[in-house]
Structure 1
Amino acid sequence: MDQYGYDMKALSNLLIKAEKRGVITGVPTSPRGPRLSHLFFADDSLLFCKANSVEWRRLLRILGIYEAGSGQKLNLHKTSIFFSWNTSVERRQEILQQSALQETQRLNTYLGLPSFVGKSRKQAFCNILGRVSQKLGNWKVKFLSQASKEVLLKAVVQAISTYSMGVFQLPISLCKEINKLMQEFW
């Protein structure tokens, strides 16, 4: 593990200990499931806490401890805050003033996958169908040999949905539509 990996492990431990002690409150992953205080992807981080000034200050203190210990500093130009729909306008403004950060209204996708999946799972993953359709609808692919079409289907089109399936269970209706597009292309 490189130095960055050790640093992220240290930050993860700080956040886990803070949540266990009740210093910050993570978000529930399901009604009876565990709470989530952070997610790390490559060099990006998503941190979760209650939307109040007390927990925000506590989270800032944890980040300060991390910055002092690791020498890494939070890039404020790349940092934003996302509030849940039920956070009051007053509370949002209070936290934004304390943080001097920008609010982002939507976290549509992260690493090509939807950040939030609501009641309509098919709608959350409709971009997959669009990407498959776009790959197959390119006029240049009409001139491909049968073997080249097979490679395109297996290597490119199936990879688009397989990556998503590694994280989410896609709706059957969406899988059928992707399959239909592939059959029509073939």
Structure 2
Amino acid sequence: MEIIGNYGKASRHEVNLEKSSIMFGKNVPEDLRPQLKSVIDISKEGGMGSYLGIPESLQGSRTKVFSYVNDQLDDRVDGWSVKYLSKGGKKIMIKSAALALPTYVMSCFKLPQELTSKLTSAISRSWWRSNDKARGLHWVAWDKMCDDKCEGSLGF
């Protein structure tokens, strides 16, 4: 409690113990957990929710833990009606909405290669499709589309 108090004084942020929850590691014995909760005066155990959009508990497969990012991207991209957009409009939509979505999670954690491939694939599909149902023909390799603008690419 002294450490939490010192943190509050140093940061000028007071910890609200009523809203707080505690998460124990697997090495903390079950009989010790109630004692620690009573000393700290935190009654709730956490670990199953999310904080700032990131899961509190990162146990298990990271691909499964962060699969919600792919789901969000798919929902966002599939919601666009691309048949009414020009290529310039699609480019703006992709850069402003699709590429910005995983940025916060990626600033905190390194995402698995499998997941980043799925994200790239979803963005690529949204670029090449010409209507809501068609898959679209990929005329240029996506790697070349992601090159810098100064090299003549679109800079995805």
1:134 and 2:75 aligned: yes
Correspondences of 1:65-76 after superposition (within 5 Å)? 73-76=14-17
Name the residue aligned to 1:104. 45
Aligned position for 2:123: 182
For 2:105, which of 149, 164, 174 is the aligned residue? 164
Pair 159,70 (structure 1): closer, same or farther in 2 beyond 3 Å: closer
Please tell me whether the aligned partners of residues 82 and 107 of structure 1 are also in contact (alpha carbons under 8 angstroms). no
Shift of 1:107: 5.1
Paired with 2:13 and 2:119, the residues of 1 have a C-alpha distance of 44
Measure how far apart 1:118 and its partner are. 4.2
Q: Which structure's residues are more often helix, by fraction?
A: 1
Q: Residue 120 of structure 1 aligns with which residue? A: 61
Question: Equivalent pairs: percent with the same residue?
Answer: 24
Q: Using the TM superposition, give the Cα deviation of residue 123 of structure 1 relative to its aligned residue in structure 2, in angstroms.
A: 1.5
> Cα distance, 1:126 vs. partner?
0.7
Q: Structure 2 length normalisation: TM-score? A: 0.64
Kindly tell me: are residues 102 and 148 of structure 1, through their superposed partners in 2, closer, same or farther at Cα, counting changes over 3 Å? Answer: farther
Gaps of 5+ in 2: 128-156
1:151 pairs with one of 68, 75, 92 = 92
- CA positional deviation for 1:164: 2.5
- In 2: Cα distance, 1:176 partner to 1:72 partner: 40
In structure 1, give the amino acid aligned to 2:85. Answer: S
Deviations 1:4-44 (A, max 9, x none): xxxxxxxxxxxxxxxxxxxxxxxxxxxxxxxxxxxxxxxxx
2:2 to 49, 61, 64: 61
Unaligned 5+ segments in structure 1 are: 1-59
Distance in 1 (alpha carbons) for counterparts of 2:12 and 2:110? 40
